[in-house]
Chain A
Amino acid sequence: MIDLTNINTKLWQEIMDNCGDIRKCFNCNTCVAGCPAAEGTPPLFIRNLVRKVLLGLEDELLDDETPWLCVTCSACEEMCPMGVHPFEVCLAIRRWQSKNDETYIPAATTEIFETGHTQAVGQAKDKRKEVGLEEVPPTIIKFPELLKKFQEMLRNTDIVRENDYMFKD
């Protein structure tokens, strides 16, 4: 039995901001059938996530880590017969979780803030030299003055402003 005593009836509106109309989901399972992460433990079942959102089960949704298993292949996005945009639902739930519990904010966002990249692009000098490339590629890592501007831009975003202790130059 699902306990509906402590629900957030506005939850679906908070989530639906950047995805399709999730009210059209009728649990057909197409988003699960072709999903690699549906084979995870616990599995990612987007249709179940949509149910949680529509029922307003806020606490359960906040504790549910399965949206982070998504491989981003977007096959569900192609196949959903109701235009719910399951992949966008997945990302919208992650954003909602990140906003309501900062421990969800991916560490890679701070790496991008610090270096402009998710990988140590500036540390691959020997590897790059060996294959005949310039040691540092002409990306943001090569131009400190651009990286500074990039960081200034991100300082004006909600995520960095609200969690400024995480984001260091």
Chain B
Amino acid sequence: MKYGLFLGCNVPAVRPDVERAIRLTMPRLGAELVDLEGSACCPAFGTFPSADETASLAISAWNFSIAEEKGVDLITECGSCYSSLRIARSKLLESEEKRKQVNKLLKPTGKKFQGTVKVRHLIDVLFNDIGPEKIRKSIKYPLENINAIVQYPCHTLFPSEIVGFDSPSGRPHMFQELVEALGASVQTYSRELQCCGGAGGFVKGSFANASEFAFKKLRAIKKETDAEFIVASCITCLQHLDRMQDELNKKNGNNACSLPVFDYNQILAVCMDFKPKEVASISTISRDEFIKRITKK
């Protein structure tokens, strides 16, 4: 199993501990990661896809060509990267005209889009290529008697015919089973499948409403579950649910909503006994006590 690690922009710049966790945990599970030297922004939906479609597809094709040269599928954690690349690939494969346009743009760079590699999300690879059983056997510290909730990345669910790998899209189960493989109990709640609201222009354009939207989810978690931590597998969900708890606490003048938020590969890395300082060191809501409880250190 060999994959091209597509880093995107947020993971390597803002949360490099997530990158570290992915780079340590995946090879431990038999998934070799190769670097995609020279890869750029996917590009994110709020950038070139909102300004010039041909330019946008050319940038995606640039990224694909790097993986194609190495003969590996791209693997990514970021939901936006995943969806942007999946949609771009689908548009390029559907239209010969668009393929011609981007290859004309790529030609002077010495690159070419051929459409020979796919884009995979980490949840897909962890569940379908590696499997919960292998993950269960790989960990040193199981999360026994600990309740979790999972945040499904919406970019891996919709539109299901282009991005989907879980089934049915309205009732996904793979992510939950991956968290259960670590020994935790996963609880469900009314707003489980609701988007975190952190991507795109909502937070920037309408901060008070975007905050309130996230608060509804957080209040539902507190009211309907006994969750002790949140597991995400998208850089935006990870950062947003962390930040919005802080905003909610500031608003309420207390620390009532302080659930540690982990990317899946981060909590997996902690359970595998990798150094928390490397794999889970950057957050707003402290994860230290929770990690101590798991590792008993």
Contacts and interface: CB of A to CB of B under 8 A. Distances in A.
A and B found bound together: yes
Interface of A: 18, 36-37, 39-41, 65, 68-75, 77-78, 87, 91, 94-95, 98, 104-106, 108-109, 112, 116-121, 123-124, 127-128, 130-133, 137-140, 142-143, 146, 149-150, 152-154, 156-160
Contacts of B194: 36
Contact of B40 (A71, A127, A140, A152): A140
A154 B10 CA distance: 22
A95 B53 contact: yes
Contacts of B296: none
Nearest to B98: A18
Contact of B201 (A68, A116, A140, A153): A68
Interface string B68-85: 000000000000100100
A137 B53 contact: no
Indicate the member of B48, B50, B157 with the most A CB atoms within 10 Å.
B50
Interface string B3-33: 0000101101110110110010000000000
Nearest 8 interchain pairs by C-beta: A159-B52, A119-B13, A40-B206, A157-B55, A94-B50, A116-B40, A78-B158, A73-B154
B38 A139 contact: yes
B169 A37 contact: no
A132 B279 CA distance: 9
Given A74-B163, A137-B19, 16 more contacts: A36-B210, A69-B200, A72-B45, A72-B199, A75-B158, A75-B195, A78-B158, A91-B49, A105-B51, A106-B47, A116-B41, A124-B12, A127-B282, A133-B12, A139-B37, A140-B38
B154 A74 contact: yes
A118 to B, nearest CB: 5
Contact of B17 (A69, A91, A131): A131
Contacts of A104: 51
A108 B47 contact: yes
15 contacts: A65-B205, A68-B201, A70-B201, A71-B199, A73-B155, A74-B154, A75-B195, A127-B282, A131-B282, A137-B19, A138-B38, A139-B12, A139-B39, A149-B110, A157-B105
Nearest to B104: A156
A91 B50 contact: yes
A146 B201 CA distance: 30
A140 to B, nearest CB: 5
Contacts of A156: 105, 108
A74 to B, nearest CB: 4
B144 to A, nearest CB: 28
B59 interface: yes
Nearest to A78: B158
A83 to B, nearest CB: 10
Indicate the member of B47, B106, B155 with the most A CB atoms within 10 Å.
B47
Contact of B16 (A36, A41, A131): A131
Interface residues of B, number: 70
B281 interface: yes
B218 to A, nearest CB: 14
B46 interface: yes
B187 interface: no
Interface string B266-281: 0000000001011101
B197 interface: yes
A149 B212 CA distance: 44
A124 B13 contact: yes
B202 A69 contact: yes
Contacts of A105: 51
Contacts of B10: 118-119
Contacts of B206: 37, 40-41, 69
B139 to A, nearest CB: 20
A154 B52 CA distance: 11
A116 B62 CA distance: 11
Nearest to A18: B53
B105 A77 contact: no
A94 B56 CA distance: 13
Contacts of A75: 154, 158, 195
Contacts of B110: 149
Given A106-B50, A117-B40, A73 B13 contact: no
